[in-house]
């Protein structure tokens, strides 16, 4: 077992090296050389808790980590950081199941991987005798930044710098980032939009002189974004976990196929589900749910990926994305691992902003169904589900829920279905409450949060409740061409 690039440069590296590198030197993504099939072992896994199961799954990917190392990483991540021992609990809502991936320290699904990735990286640094300190650079539109900051704060030999668009994230998201503790963290608001932040960071990664200069000063740059296998592989775990929980609770029989509905942006979450299926998890369909930015919907419908369109800002900002990076890994699998094809498609994307897959590749997409939800439907869905079941969906999960309703209408499929929930409704309180009732527009964020709690009779998550009392520790802003100097300032160089 080793990792190779989707673009076929014959690089073969270990998991720990892939976690340090992030991206292959040919700009491709690292993929596992094979998938271990666990189908015949599923019956032995039903009674495992989240951590035990995480070990069983992760050891098939991260094969150069020792049992001790891997268990150390798992145990350090999935502990009291989460507000439930189940880590990823399931709620029954009507006849369906909602897999809640928002019980971690920042109340969004990014925590499922970003709580463990820092430990995986730290272990990788030690294993590979890296002399330099690692500086994690992250551009964020909100959720990733805070989850990465929480995960990496106070981790030895690692520093983290997060750039966010000063006027492009929610107040709660901004407050979450600016109040982060730890001596190794740096948070910078950029006078620009998310694209400016993202492009700025990408340019820094590609800037050989800057990287050389940093290396001489004892630092190497790395990234915590969702193309790193240190983020992808931990996400495979909860697909198995939710399936096995349903078996344990006698909701399904071992071997039954189920559906997963996934609110999708960068295609990392749903791809981890697809990897779980490659490993023998019985899945009927993956329903890929998009918001108004329906690039993926068009792709699954027509075989054409076309990013030449305007990015729309929606109430589900973590899915406002036009280039779903992890789709490259799916292209690799559906072309039967033909890196020539992948290269040619990604070149088209680069040069023309569009590519089209061939008939053979399309045939291999049969386990996917795609949908998208417009803003009024998202809002209506939040209200309907709350009125009917007393269950609060956040805006991203509501996108998934309404796509699933349309799927059932279209196909009459009555397979048991898990809707993957990616954020606490409290993270998007204003849009959630506005969907249910009209409120006084003068209320501040914390008044809205209290109101949401009264209305839904649910508890405000600890990390959000606490925000009010935390002091602002980061107040740096910079122009969009000043990222490098901010990094150097932070490193004291």
Residues in contact with ligand PLP by the rule CB under 6 A: 108-110, 143, 226, 263-269, 318-319, 396, 422-423
Question: Min. distance of Cβ 484 from ligand PLP in angstroms?
Answer: 27
Q: Cβ closer to ligand PLP: 214 or 393?
A: 393
Q: Cβ closer to ligand PLP: 100 or 143?
A: 143
Question: Min. distance of Cβ 290 from ligand PLP in angstroms?
Answer: 9
Question: Min. distance of Cβ 421 from ligand PLP in angstroms?
Answer: 9
Q: Cβ closer to ligand PLP: 4 or 319?
A: 319
Q: Cβ closer to ligand PLP: 65 or 372?
A: 372
Q: Cβ closer to ligand PLP: 22 or 265?
A: 265
Q: Cβ closer to ligand PLP: 222 or 318?
A: 318
Q: Cβ closer to ligand PLP: 143 or 292?
A: 143
Question: Min. distance of Cβ 316 from ligand PLP in angstroms?
Answer: 7
Question: Min. distance of Cβ 270 from ligand PLP in angstroms?
Answer: 6
Query: Alpha-carbon distance 325 to 231, whole Å?
Result: 13
Q: Cβ closer to ligand PLP: 127 or 396?
A: 396
449 in Cβ contact with 464 (< 8 Å): yes
Question: Min. distance of Cβ 376 from ligand PLP in angstroms?
Answer: 19
Exposed, middle or buried by CB within 10 Å (0-12, 13-18, 19+), for 15? buried
Question: Min. distance of Cβ 419 from ligand PLP in angstroms?
Answer: 12
Question: Min. distance of Cβ 260 from ligand PLP in angstroms?
Answer: 13
Question: Min. distance of Cβ 268 from ligand PLP in angstroms?
Answer: 3
Q: Cβ closer to ligand PLP: 339 or 422?
A: 422
Q: Cβ closer to ligand PLP: 279 or 393?
A: 393
Question: Min. distance of Cβ 58 from ligand PLP in angstroms?
Answer: 18
Exposed, middle or buried by CB within 10 Å (0-12, 13-18, 19+), for 256? middle
Question: Min. distance of Cβ 250 from ligand PLP in angstroms?
Answer: 30
What are the C-alpha distances in Å from 123 to residues 11, 20, 161? Answer: 22, 10, 20
Q: Which residues neighbour 462 within 8 Å (Cβ) at sequence distance 6 or greater?
A: 83
Q: Cβ closer to ligand PLP: 14 or 180?
A: 180
Q: What are the tokens at 475?
A: 């107040």
């Amino acid at each position: 077992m080793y990792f190779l690039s989707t673009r076929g440069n014959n690089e073969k590296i270990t998991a720990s090296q892939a976690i340090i590198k992030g991206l292959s030197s040919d700009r491709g993504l690292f993929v596992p050389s094979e998938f271990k099939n666990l189908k015949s072992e599923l019956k032995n896994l039903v009674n495992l808790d989240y951590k035990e199961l995480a070990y069983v799954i992760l050891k098939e990917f991260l094969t150069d980590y020792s049992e001790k190392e891997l268990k150390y990483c798992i145990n350090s991540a999935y502990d009291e950081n989460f507000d439930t021992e189940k880590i990823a609990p399931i709620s029954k809502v009507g006849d369906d199941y909602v897999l809640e991936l928002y019980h971690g320290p920042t109340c969004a699904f990014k925590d499922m991987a970003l709580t463990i990735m820092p430990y995986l990286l730290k272990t990788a640094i030690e294993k590979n005798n890296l002399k330099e300190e690692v500086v994690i650079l992250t551009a964020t539109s909100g959720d990733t930044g805070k989850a990465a900051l929480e995960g990496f704060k106070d981790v030895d030999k690692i520093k983290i710098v997060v750039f966010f668009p000063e006027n492009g994230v929610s107040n709660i998201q901004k407050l979450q980032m600016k109040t982060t503790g730890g001596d190794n963290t740096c948070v910078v608001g950029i006078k620009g939009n998310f694209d400016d932040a993202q492009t700025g960071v990408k340019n820094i990664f590609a800037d050989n002189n800057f990287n050389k200069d940093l290396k001489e000063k004892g630092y190497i740059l790395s990234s915590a974004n969702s193309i790193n296998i240190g983020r992808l592989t931990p996400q495979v775990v909860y697909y198995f976990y939710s399936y096995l929980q349903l078996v344990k609770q006698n909701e399904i029989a071992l071997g039954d196929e189920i559906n997963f509905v996934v609110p999708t942006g960068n295609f990392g979450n749903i791809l981890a589900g697809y990897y779980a299926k490659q490993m023998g998890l019985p899945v009927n369909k993956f329903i890929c749910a998009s918001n108004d930015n329906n690039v993926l919907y068009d792709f699954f419908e027509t075989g054409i990926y076309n990013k030449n369109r305007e990015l729309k800002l929606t109430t589900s900002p973590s899915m406002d994305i036009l280039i779903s990076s992890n789709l490259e890994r799916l292209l690799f699998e559906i072309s039967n691992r033909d890196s020539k094809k992948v290269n040619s498609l990604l070149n088209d994307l680069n040069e023309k902003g569009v590519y089209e897959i061939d008939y053979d590749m399309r045939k291999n997409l049969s386990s996917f169904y795609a949908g998208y939800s417009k803003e009024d439907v998202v809002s209506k869905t939040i209200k309907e589900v709350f009125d009917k079941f007393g269950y609060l969906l956040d805006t991203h999960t509501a996108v998934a829920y309404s796509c699933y309703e349309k799927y059932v209408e279209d196909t009459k499929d009555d397979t048991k279905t898990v809707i993957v929930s990616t954020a606490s409704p409290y993270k998007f309180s204003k849009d959630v409450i506005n969907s249910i009732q009209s409120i006084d527009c003068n209320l501040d964020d914390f008044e809205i949060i209290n109101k949401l709690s009264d209305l839904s009779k649910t508890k405000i998550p600890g990390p959000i409740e606490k925000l009010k009392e935390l002091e602002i520790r980061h107040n740096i802003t910079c122009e969009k061409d000043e990222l490098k100097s901010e990094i150097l300032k932070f490193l004291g160089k």
